[in-house]
Structure 1
Amino acid sequence: MKKVLLIVMMGATFITYAQKKANGTIYVDHPAITVVEGMIKAFVNGDENKVAGYLADDFKSFDGSNKDDKGSDKASFLRSVKNWKDNIDYLSIKRSAGAYPDALEYTDDSQKDVVWVQTWEDVKGVHKTTGVKIDMPMHRLFVVNKDNKIKSIMTYSDAGIGNEVRDSYSVRKNGTIYNHHDYINKVRVMVHAFENKDYDKAYSFYDKKASFRNSNMAPDEKSLTLDQMKEMDKKMMQQFDVTSMDVRGYPDYLNYELGDAKVVQSWWNCNMTRKSDNKKIVMPILFIDTFNDEGMITNEIAYYSDKILEKEIEY
């Protein structure tokens, strides 16, 4: 039995080692990396002539996210240098945090005259005309020939940003705004129910799984549940007496085409008396309420300054 076990263990060890086969060497420092990073710097600076000096005559660039891409030639790539310079403010292409380029020299004959360089970068900038912000990771594979010229680039990046830039050149309607609608009516009834301390009626307009946020919460802070919001309101009412909720301007109901979102925006002056010292406080507040298809509020964001609640206002 021991002999059988030993044979099995030796066989497993052999299989483990047999699965490994070297196919070249990876370098963290290499002349090919210097060439690639030199070209990137020239690209960011918008220097077409300098970029051209880094590229082979038969250069091709490919979109790695498009399997049907046939590639673009050197002249096309150089035009893109000018295009980025003319259209992008604050352009930067830098190594992603914790990342660095690798140079790979493969041992197989088909790769003996080239070096592959792979990079992980962050591309940032702002499109001059549309204001679309560029802030995306980008992975690229460069092939550098024996003359230290870049023979090809394969780029993997977020095409969505380019699509947003192109779409932003056109005027596009994204829904309809109403100044009278049943959802507006519901928000008004809900707010005035709070004003009149009819809390059961006020909360009846919210879906049981509704979520709540306000402008004083940290971005990474978890949204409140309906029960948590009730408790927060209860503590507020222990300290303040709401005497009036007065609408400012008029509410809007926005029925967005994209996503069919149903949103009511309403602006209010919340008139309160602080119970501890009888101080009168007026707090401007904006409610953004999102409705589901059943006409229930599923999400509410309140914009106000809680500093106003601490401020003494003299009349």
Structure 2
Amino acid sequence: MYYIVYKGNCYSTLNVLFSPKLSGSDFFKILELIEFPLKESENVLMKYALTELVSNSVRALHERKRLREVAVDFQVTGNFIKCVITDYAGGFDPAVLPIDINADSRAIDILSDEFQMYREKHSYNRFGIGLVSAKLALDAFHLVFIDGEGKEVSWHGEGSVDGTRITAAKRISRPEKDGEPLAVVRRARRHSIFTKVRINGEEEAYLVDISMKGVRLLCIDRTRVRKDQTITVNVGKIDGMGDGLCFTLRVRWLHREGLFWQIGGEFVRGDDFSTEQLEAILDKIAFDPTQIPGLVVIRGS
């Protein structure tokens, strides 16, 4: 049996609720924490393709001023990794594209008159090949328009649809590993999240886990943090928390994993926040994560 691996845990499904306050490059960093049952080169191709698609959704949400989360749902099904990307950015007129969005990518000619006119129309700021490249990297691709309830509808002009749903799939290409876990160990009141923070007011990092005891942080490429150091971490504004949350941590461990430094820290109890405030934050993450701007919630089963 095959699994999606996220931070050492194995899942059959993995759901990412991605905040449009973050960028496509932030989404790619999340994907770098995920391992699909694919050969290394195909793993990279799939991640680039999905980043292109999610970036398109985020850009459309900003253009329409509809800052609603993008749902990215992964599933191992049969011999495929399936990914469904759903946004409520208002859709687009498929007639303005130089291609039939659901056509076989192998039949697309990027040197055609349609592509050239598209590039000229957009003063060579858009080339029309990002979506084509994403389609070519995948084994299956299908896009539909949806209404506010997520039901499939047809495009009949501006305002006739609420968003898009893309179903993409890649055939599993990696041999099954012996002894892969069959279940995920869950710990009470622990939530897998992803949001930007600052360490000691200057070093950019990501908060990827939080519990009543502490947090796990992620730094890209390098960090000035050291074991047993006491650090402050600033999180963006959270409803009911004024200008944001600042807490003090004692670093218990850190290790390098590929491009990332993972840092584990325990809360140093003080005047930063109360136990009740932390409980309230965990409740918001569990039951209404949209109250926390810029937060990405990741759930697996």
Q: TM-score range by the shorter chain?
A: under 0.3
Largest Rg, 1 or 2: 1
